[in-house]
A = this chain, B = another copy of it.
Amino acid sequence: MGKIEAQNIDLESFKHSSVYKLDDQYWFQEKSDSFAGQAFGLEVKEILYHVNSEYQDILVFKSATFGNVLALNGIIQCTERDEFAYQEMITNLPIMSHKSPKKVLVIGGGDCGVVRELIKHLDDGVESITMVEIDDMVIQLSAKFLPNMAKFRDHPNVKIVIDDGFKFLKELENQNEKYDVIITDSSDPDGPAEEFFQVTYFKLLANALNDRGIVIMQSSENIWLNIDYLKDLLSKGKQVFSNVRYAQCYMPSYTSGQLGFIMATNDFSNPLYFAARSFSPEKEAELFKYYTKEVHKSSFILPAWADRTLNGN
C-alpha cells in the first residue's frame, strides 16, 4: 500500500451517518443498537480521512478536545487523549500477571498502541511481538494520524502480519508455534471481529498458548449494558480455560465510560487478579500513566451486582 495522502475534506459538505451539525458545531455521535438510547459525542474540528476499506468504514477526525480520533463502523476505537488507559490495561494485565512473558501475539490492534506498550517490556523479558491485523489501512492511517500510538510498528522485535487473526490462529493448529501471551485487541462483534467472541476462538487461543500462557480480549459489552452477554462470554471461555476472569478500567471515550476485559489461563496456579512481577515505584512511574500493581488488583473488583452475576459472589 502506498503512502496515505491528505484528503482535504470539506466538513460542511461531508456526509457520514455519525457526523451532524448542531448550532454551528459539527459533532461525531456514537450510536449502536448494542447501546440503544445513549450516545457519546465529540465535537469535530476536521475530517482527516474517510474511507470504506475492504473490511469496514474508517473515519479519522480531529476532535475539539480529545485529539485525533479513530472510529471503525461509527464506533470510537481510540482518541489521543485517553488511549493510554485502554492500551496499558489490555497489555499489562496479562504481561504483568505472567512470570516470564517472552513471545506475545496481538490479534487486531491495528492502531499499534498495544505494540507500543509491549515494547516497554523488552527489558523485562518480552522478546518477540507478532501482530496480526486484517486491515492494513488501519495501520497506515494510524501511522499518519496517531503517530504516538504507531511509533514502534517498524521496531526490529515487531513482526506485523496482514491477515485474518482467526485464520492465522487456525493455521497454528498444524504448527508448533506457541505464545506466552495472546492479546485480542479487536473491534466489537458487529464487524469483522464477530468470530472472536465464540467458543471456537477460545479453543484456537488455548491451542496457541504455551503452558502458563495467558489470553486477554476486550469484552465488547460492559456490565451496565448487557451483563447477561458477559456472563455468557465468560461461560464460553470456561469451556476452554480453567480460570476466566472479568476486569474493567475507566475509559471516558468508550460506551458508559469504561472498558471490560476477559482474561483467561489454564495455569491453575495463576489467579490473574494480581501482578506476578513488579517494578520499583520509580520504574513503574517511568513506564506507565495508568497501570500500577494496585490498579491491576482493583480492576477485578466489581460492583456488587456484577460481582454476584459474573463471579457468583
Contacts A291-B304, A294-B301 given; does A37 touch B64 at CB 8 Å: yes
* A260-313 with Cβ < 8 A to chain B: 281, 284-285, 288-292, 294-295, 297-298, 301-305, 307-308, 313
Which among B22, B40, B254, B308 is the interface contact of A40 at CB below 8 angstroms? B40
Taking A38-B66, A257-B252 as contacts, is the C-beta distance between A285 and B308 under 8 angstroms? yes
Contacts A22-B20, A39-B27, A257-B252 known; A301 to B298 CB distance under 8 Å? yes
- Are B257's CB and A284's CB within 8 A? no
Most buried by B among A256, A257, A288, A302: A257
Chain B residues contacting A64 (CB-CB under 8 Å) are 36-37
Chain B residues near A254 (CB-CB < 8 A): 257
Q: Could you show 25 A-B contacts with beta carbons less than 8 Å apart? A: A20-B22, A29-B41, A36-B43, A37-B42, A37-B65, A37-B66, A38-B66, A38-B253, A39-B41, A40-B41, A41-B41, A81-B224, A82-B224, A224-B252, A248-B250, A250-B250, A251-B257, A257-B257, A281-B313, A284-B304, A285-B308, A288-B304, A289-B305, A292-B307, A294-B301
- Chain A interface residue bracket vs B: 35 or more
Q: How many copies does the complex hold?
A: 2
Are B41 and A65 in contact, with the CB atoms below 8 A?
Answer: no
Residues of A within 8 A of B (CB): 20, 22, 27, 29, 36-43, 63-66, 81-82, 85, 224, 248, 250-254, 256-258, 281, 284-285, 288-292, 294-295, 297-298, 301-305, 307-308, 313
User: In the assembled complex, how far is the CB of residue A96 from the closest CB belonging to chain B, in whole angstroms?
Assistant: 13
List of B residues within 8 angstroms of A20 by Cβ: 22
Residues of B near A65 (CB, < 8 A) are: 36-38
**In the assembled complex, how far is the CB of residue A312 from the closest CB belonging to chain B, in whole angstroms?**
12
Are A37 and B63 interface neighbours, CB within 8 A? Answer: yes
Distance (whole angstroms) from the CB of A90 to the closest CB of chain B: 14
A36 to B45, CA, bound (A): 13
A44 to chain B, nearest CB (A): 9
14 additional contacts, CB 8 Å, given A38-B252, A297-B298, A297-B301?
Answer: A36-B43, A37-B63, A37-B65, A38-B66, A39-B40, A224-B250, A250-B258, A256-B257, A281-B313, A284-B304, A289-B304, A290-B303, A292-B301, A292-B307
